[in-house]
Amino acid sequence: MMEADVQTETKTQEKRGRKASKELRQMQLIEATIDSLAKRGYAETTLADVADGAGLSRGIVNFHFESKDKLLVATLQHMADEYANHWTAQLEAAGDDPARQLWALVAADFDRRICTRRKLAAWCAFWGEAKSRPTYQALCGARDERYQQTFVSLCVTLKADGGYGFDAEGMALSLCAMMEGLWLRLMLGDGLTRETAYAAAVEFVVAAFPRHFTHAGVLENGRS
Amino acid sequence: MMEADVQTETKTQEKRGRKASKELRQMQLIEATIDSLAKRGYAETTLADVADGAGLSRGIVNFHFESKDKLLVATLQHMADEYANHWTAQLEAAGDDPARQLWALVAADFDRRICTRRKLAAWCAFWGEAKSRPTYQALCGARDERYQQTFVSLCVTLKADGGYGFDAEGMALSLCAMMEGLWLRLMLGDGLTRETAYAAAVEFVVAAFPRHFTHAGVLENGRS
DNA sequence: ATTTATTGAATGAATGTTCAGTCAGTATGT
DNA sequence: ACATACTGACTGAACATTCATTCAATAAAT
């Protein structure tokens, strides 16, 4: 899963670079943590399992991270950063057209790199503990803050442009919620595939913004 | 939380009825388990906490349920039953009109009795462990099976009636996912209220079925 | 030689499970 | 009526296990 990266790093960085090796170990342990969360769930994730998964010794986690708790926080932080970086990049790559931007954001959530069983399972594990752990809640919430605002802005713009009757904030909220709900279902299994989930999301976006999208993609009309 | 029921039961059943007392205890323990899940999360829920919450002794759970695991399964089963009973009842109360039925199902998910912080938190706790516990997965999935099919049927009917262009299965999936996603957000806090979440769901439904609903409710036209 | 990374056995706290005993309520015998 | 035996819910201390954490010893790099 992350062995490939480790191998690469080993070849390129092994001889020189004590500092780099340290960060490498931390990444290695974080990836092993995600594996364990996905395989055994939050409650059954043990440091022993993480260490085994990384092919290292038992005490290693407490050396690189101070405690199990900090390892988990670092793992969630890592996932939150990765997620934010991804949608931000996709948003910028979409150019200036709001319709294209919204389309890109929806697609970003179902990107192969982000929308993995493994990572969805890890997200869900943290969600399950978030209510009783303020730190998790903050990191899960921080994920939403900018994301949600971006959606609201796009809905406001598209509403004005297309003359839709919906409330922009409500629509933005239901859109975001729908995608998270699809993630949840993907994780729960049920034979739902990433493609099917993406298709369902598209279905709704097309229904909500009929003057901007079809199932084939973004409509090319400027404005009325 | 459930003390009221206990008192009632005590008055009506205490003298006679050893059997009834047993089921009462089990319910009491299940409610205490939901409390603990909501307050401390799945990972931190201990039998001691459950027993304390129920005001009973430490060994009580292993007496009424065989193990911690079975207590948790019984708790999830209880919640799943309650949920299914609720939406089934609301569906039947809605009469024969598909539009009214869909409207009722959406409203049911945000009903005061079902959509409690406490219960949402417990659901989410189980979701977080579902991937690694086939038993949980089955119970969470069973919840979906009939529910999902009902939504698909309604979408098919309304599509034919309203001449909508969406794919019915995709729309049904995105609808269900949206409501689960809203539950998730409700649980994560963020100052989102049940009313706001419900409004967002309505926004979605109105946008998707414009010939059947407005923000005010179900449109009264028969067909074209 | 010194610093740094790593190991793995030891430790102790947390907690699920067991079980011998307590006690109320109920039936049985006188 | 009264005493006795019995049943079954309930208790709480003892036990066993799991697991995060610590740390002295070791290996590796500079």
pLDDT in tens, B62-79: 999 999 999 999 999 999
**Mutation test of the interface with chain A: which of B174, B194, B198, choosing the one with the most A Cβ atoms within 10 A?**
B174
Q: Which residues of B touch A180 (CB under 8 A)?
A: 177, 181, 184-185
Evaluate if residue A8 carries a pLDDT over 60.
no
Where residue B47 falls among pLDDT bands split at 50, 70, 90? very high
**CA B55 to C1' D7, whole Å:** 24
Option in A188, A202, A203 nearest B130 (CB): A188
Q: What pLDDT shows up at residue A219?
A: 87
* pLDDT tens figures, A107-137: 999 999 999 999 999 999 999 999 999 999 9
Option in A131, A188, A208 nearest B137 (CB): A188
Q: What pLDDT shows up at residue B20?
A: 63
Q: Do A131 and B124 touch (CB under 8 A)?
A: yes
Please state the rounded mean pLDDT for residues A150-171. Answer: 97
> What single string gives the DSSP state of each residue in chain B?
--HHHHHHHHHHHSSS-HHHHHHHHHHHHHHHHHHHHHHHHHHH--HHHHHHHHT--TTHHHHHSSSHHHHHHHHHHHHHHHHHHHHHHHHHHT-S-HHHHHHHHHHHHT-TTT--HHHHHHHHHHHHHHTT-HHHHHHHHHHHHHHHHHHHHHHHHHHHHHT--S-HHHHHHHHHHHHHHHHHHHHH-TT--HHHHHHHHHHHHHHH-TTTEETTEE------
CA atoms within 13 A on the CB side of B167: 16
CATH T-level topology, domain B72-216 = Tetracycline Repressor; domain 2 (1.10.357)
The answer to whether A56 CB sits below 7 Å from nucleic acid chain C is: yes
Question: Which residue has its C-alpha nearest to nucleotide C7's C1'?
Answer: A57
Q: Return the closest-CA partner of residue B123 out of A181, A80, A135.
A: A181
* pLDDT tens figures, B99-129: 999 999 999 999 999 999 999 999 999 999 9
Q: What is the mean pLDDT of chain B?
A: 89
Q: Which one of 3.40.50.720, 1.10.1200.10, 1.10.10.60, 1.10.150.130 gives the CATH number of domain B3-65?
A: 1.10.10.60
Please state the rounded mean pLDDT for residues B134-163. Answer: 92
Please state the rounded mean pLDDT for residues B178-203. Answer: 94
Q: What pLDDT shows up at residue A91?
A: 97
Q: Do B185 and A177 touch (CB under 8 A)?
A: yes
Q: Which residues of A touch B136 (CB under 8 A)?
A: none
Option in A41, A165, A167 nearest B133 (CB): A41
Q: CA B80, CA B87: separation in Å to the nearest integer? A: 11
Evaluate if residue B224 carries a pLDDT over 80.
no
Q: What pLDDT shows up at residue B142?
A: 65
Evaluate if residue A164 carries a pLDDT over 70.
yes
Architecture per CATH, domain A76-224, reads as Orthogonal Bundle (1.10)
Q: Which residues of B touch A192 (CB under 8 A)?
A: 173
Q: What pLDDT shows up at residue A118?
A: 95
How many angstroms away from the CA of A22 is the closest CA of chain B?
30
* pLDDT tens figures, A165-221: 999 999 999 999 999 999 999 998 778 999 999 999 999 999 999 999 999 989 876
**CA A66 to C1' D20, whole Å:** 11
**CA B48 to C1' D11, whole Å:** 13
The answer to whether B69 CB sits below 7 Å from nucleic acid chain C is: yes
Q: Do A128 and B178 touch (CB under 8 A)?
A: no
Where residue B7 falls among pLDDT bands split at 50, 70, 90? very low
Evaluate if residue A17 carries a pLDDT over 70.
no
Q: What pLDDT shows up at residue A18?
A: 52
How many angstroms away from the CA of B26 is the closest CA of chain A?
24
Q: What pLDDT shows up at residue B4?
A: 38
**Mutation test of the interface with chain B: which of A173, A183, A190, choosing the one with the most B Cβ atoms within 10 A?**
A173
Question: Which residue has its C-alpha nearest to nucleotide C4's C1'?
Answer: A18
The percentage of residues in chain A with a pLDDT greater than 90, rounded to a whole number, is: 80
Evaluate if residue B40 carries a pLDDT over 70.
yes
Domains of chain A, residue spans: 1-65, 76-224
Evaluate if residue B89 carries a pLDDT over 90.
yes
- Of A67-71, B91-95, B141-145, least confident by mean pLDDT is B141-145
Q: Could you write out the three-class secondary structure of chain A?
A: CCHHHHHHHHHHHCCCCHHHHHHHHHHHHHHHHHHHHHHHHHHHCCHHHHHHHHCCCCCHHHHHCCCHHHHHHHHHHHHHHHHHHHHHHHHHHCCCCHHHHHHHHHHHHCCCCCCCHHHHHHHHHHHHHHCCCHHHHHHHHHHHHHHHHHHHHHHHHHHHHHCCCCCHHHHHHHHHHHHHHHHHHHHHCCCCCHHHHHHHHHHHHHHHCCCCEECCEECCCCCC
Q: What pLDDT shows up at residue B21?
A: 76
Q: What pLDDT shows up at residue B144?
A: 75
- Nearest nt (C1') from A58 Cα: C8
Please state the rounded mean pLDDT for residues B21-29. Answer: 88
Q: Return the closest-CA partner of residue A37 out of B76, B130, B70.
A: B130
The answer to whether B7 CB sits below 7 Å from nucleic acid chain C is: no
Where residue B220 falls among pLDDT bands split at 50, 70, 90? confident
**CA B128 to C1' D26, whole Å:** 41
Q: What is the mean pLDDT of chain A?
A: 89
- Of A15-19, A58-62, A149-153, A184-188, least confident by mean pLDDT is A15-19
How many angstroms away from the CA of B8 is the closest CA of chain A?
32
Q: Do A167 and B199 touch (CB under 8 A)?
A: yes
Option in A176, A184, A204 nearest B174 (CB): A204
Nearest CA in chain A to B136: A188
Please list the residues that pair with A217 across neighbouring strands: A214
Cβ-proximal residues to A187 (8 Å cutoff; 6+ apart), any chain = A117, A120, A121, A123, A124, B130, B131
Please state the rounded mean pLDDT for residues B2-24. Answer: 49
More confident residue, B45 or B143: B45
Evaluate if residue B11 carries a pLDDT over 70.
no
Q: Which amino acid is at A42?
A: Y
The answer to whether B63 CB sits below 7 Å from nucleic acid chain C is: yes
Q: Do B196 and A173 touch (CB under 8 A)?
A: yes
Q: Return the closest-CA partner of residue B87 out of B164, B29, B151, B5.
A: B151
Q: Which residue has the tokens 């929308």?
A: A115
Where residue A19 falls among pLDDT bands split at 50, 70, 90? low
Q: What pLDDT shows up at residue A215?
A: 92
* pLDDT tens figures, A56-95: 999 999 999 999 999 999 999 999 999 999 999 999 999 9
Residue A2 burial by Cβ neighbours in a 10 Å radius (0-12, 13-18, 19+): middle
More confident residue, B222 or A20: A20
In CATH, what class is A1-65?
A: mainly alpha
